[in-house]
Structure 1
Amino acid sequence: MIEYGHENAEYLYHTPSEFEKSGGLWAIRAGRNKAKPNYQVGPKVIECYSVHAVLGGSVTLAYGDGAVRLKGGDLFCLFPGLRYSYQLAENEDPLRMYWLAFQGDQAERLVERIGFSREEPYVIGRWTQEHERTMMSIHGLMRDQAEYDEALLQLRLYQLFVTMSRQAGSQPKTLRTADWLERGIQYMNTHYTENIAVADVAEVAGVHRSHLYQECIRLLGISPLQYIIKLRMERGEELLRNNGLSVTDIALSVGYPDLFSFSRAFSKYYGMSPTQYQAQQTK
């Protein structure tokens, strides 16, 4: 570390490659420090996200209209465009921190998974030795260009976020209905042609099947099963119009085990059999 006016610190700056920026997350800078008695940063705003881990001592974080005192094991996140400041809080132990600044389309979702929000940008008691080892590996890759591997750095970044997202000493914040329902809808949109059941959707969403049903009815107007059928029927109808496939081929392509079950579902949905629909398209 190098001695500065208010700290001893190491700053690591990274220029992401096109490969890194083609993904959903990339590092911009990182570092570690040991604060001096006059330590203070801000008030200011930054252009990216930055997660800070308090290793020892304590720090007072001011954000928006709030403020909180954090100690060893706690984390806080700086959001882009959000005014903040932090400074040494009185404590017998010296303040020591790691930090990692990053950007990308997945950045906000990833910090939300940890439990950060713009209204409450900190979590208590989350930092572990496992996180520290991963952070040190990230620092090493950014520090030593001879060891730098863009794919490995991406791997370590996601590894850090996955492990920090796990429950560790605090209850995770309750997901909004929109969050888990979107996860369930995306699962159905991706896998409707496969042999999925409503129970699978509920498991992915992380809620009870009956609660999934109630919220789908309330917000989508149809049940999860009806939504899966809707996706299959619309895709089946598209293939009947635009493809030279047989009806049996189409049945198997949209998630039905045989021609009969597809024909029965299609007839119920559109009021005519797939063969009749296909014949209409050739007139």
Structure 2
Amino acid sequence: MQETAVEFVDIWFYKPDGFDELGGVWPVRIGNNIAKPSYKNGPRQTPYCNMHFIREGQVQLFYGGQEVILRKGDIFCKFPNTTYSYQIVPSEKPLRMTWITFDGHQARQILTMTGFAEDKPYRRASVDKDMEIVLQQMFQWCKGDSRKQLMTMYSLMYRIFSKLLPDKDHEPPHTPSDWVRKSLDFIHAYYAEKITVDDVAKYVRLHRTYLSKIFTKEVGVPPSRYLIQMRLDRGKQLLLESMLSVTEIALSVGYPDIYSFTRAFTRRFGLSPGGVRKQTGGRLE
């Protein structure tokens, strides 16, 4: 550890590369400290998200015109571009903290998902023995620069986030429009996987009959017809824009074989897939 005027500190800094930035969140720095009696930080802002884990002692956090005293096992966070300050509170044991600073388009959402809010940026009694071990391991793995070491450190960071998540997500009351939107999202994502309306109903946790009723009211067609139309429209697009064979297209949009795809396609468009290909001079087989 390096000694400064107010603490003994060990910090690892990380500059993400293009690969890291493809993800939703990446570390910026990780640190450990042992505070001196004069320890104080801020008031200041940072452009990143941050979590401070209190390992020993006590700290007083100042935020948004409020203040709170936090102890061993508590965690406080810092939202980006928000002013905070904190200082040591005299106690029998010295203040000792570990912190993780991270960035990315999911960073702020992770703070919110793990129970922090700008008007209450702390959690009580959240650092158990298992998290202590993970924090130690994370600081050990972050010292390397190989891709394997970085991936291990990433996995430990996400393990910390997961430990802070509630066991069961809170789901707000759903409206029929919410269920239909969720059904459409499922169909758009998995239409090529041979899904059925029963699969859609199971996903949104509704009885098939009720789902069909509200879906038809909102969308204008039953979910079974919507699913067929989506598959056939996508199939026609592939016929016009790709060199895939008709068999490849049939299997790519969720049909079990070329025959069932051709029958459904001809009923919808008045031409067989081969006929569409002939009109555009494309590949037939």
SS in 1 for 2:94: coil
* 2:110–2:161 CA contact under 8 A, matched in 1: no
Q: Write the distance in 2 (CA, Å) between the matches of 1:69 and 1:209.
A: 47
- Return the offset for 1:254: 0.8
Aligned to 1:174: 170
Q: Which amino acid aligns with 1:233?
A: L
Percent identical residues: 33
TM-score relative to the length of structure 1: 0.72
- Return the offset for 1:106: 3.7
- Return the offset for 1:100: 1.3
Of structures 1 and 2, the larger Rg is shown by 2
1:255 aligns with 2:254: yes
1:185-224, aligned counterparts within 5 Å? 189-196=188-195, 208-209=205-206, 221=219
SS in 1 for 2:249: helix
Going from structure 1 to structure 2, the CA distance change for 1:244 and 1:79 (only over 3 Å counts) comes to same
1:152 aligns with 2:149: yes
Q: Write the distance in 1 (CA, Å) between the matches of 2:114 and 2:130.
A: 15
Q: Write the distance in 2 (CA, Å) between the matches of 1:133 and 1:183.
A: 39
Aligned to 1:240: 239
Q: Write the distance in 2 (CA, Å) between the matches of 1:160 and 1:173.
A: 20
Q: Write the distance in 2 (CA, Å) between the matches of 1:184 and 1:59.
A: 48
Q: Write the distance in 2 (CA, Å) between the matches of 1:3 and 1:27.
A: 24
- Return the offset for 1:82: 1.7
* 1:115–1:173 CA contact under 8 A, matched in 2: no
* 2:266–2:273 CA contact under 8 A, matched in 1: no
Please list the CA deviations of residues 170-203 of structure 1 after superposition, one character each: whole Å capped at 9, or x if unmatched.
Answer: 66663567x9999987665444312345676688
Structure 2 residue runs without a partner (length 5+): none
- Return the offset for 1:98: 0.4
Name which of structure 1's ranges 30-39 and 40-49 shifts more when overlaid on structure 2: 30-39
Aligned to 1:15: 15
* 1:193–1:255 CA contact under 8 A, matched in 2: yes
- Return the offset for 1:253: 1.1
Aligned to 2:108: 108
Aligned to 2:76: 76
* 1:41–1:85 CA contact under 8 A, matched in 2: yes
* 1:131–1:160 CA contact under 8 A, matched in 2: no
* 1:115–1:172 CA contact under 8 A, matched in 2: no
* 1:232–1:254 CA contact under 8 A, matched in 2: yes
SS in 2 for 1:156: helix
Q: Which amino acid aligns with 1:174?
A: H
Aligned to 1:28: 28
Structure 1 residue runs without a partner (length 5+): none
Aligned to 1:125: 125
Please list the CA deviations of residues 133-173 of structure 1 after superposition, one character each: whole Å capped at 9, or x if unmatched.
Answer: 33323322444xxx4323422332233223432367x6666
Q: Which amino acid aligns with 2:193?
A: E
* 1:267–1:273 CA contact under 8 A, matched in 2: yes
Q: Which amino acid aligns with 1:278?
A: V
Q: Write the distance in 2 (CA, Å) between the matches of 1:125 and 1:226.
A: 53
Please list the CA deviations of residues 74-128 of structure 1 after superposition, one character each: whole Å capped at 9, or x if unmatched.
Answer: 3222122122222334654433210011223343344344333445433343323
Cα RMSD of the aligned pairs, angstroms, is 4.3
Aligned to 1:164: 161
Going from structure 1 to structure 2, the CA distance change for 1:132 and 1:199 (only over 3 Å counts) comes to farther
* 1:41–1:86 CA contact under 8 A, matched in 2: yes
* 1:113–1:165 CA contact under 8 A, matched in 2: no
Name which of structure 1's ranges 117-126 and 75-84 shifts more when overlaid on structure 2: 117-126
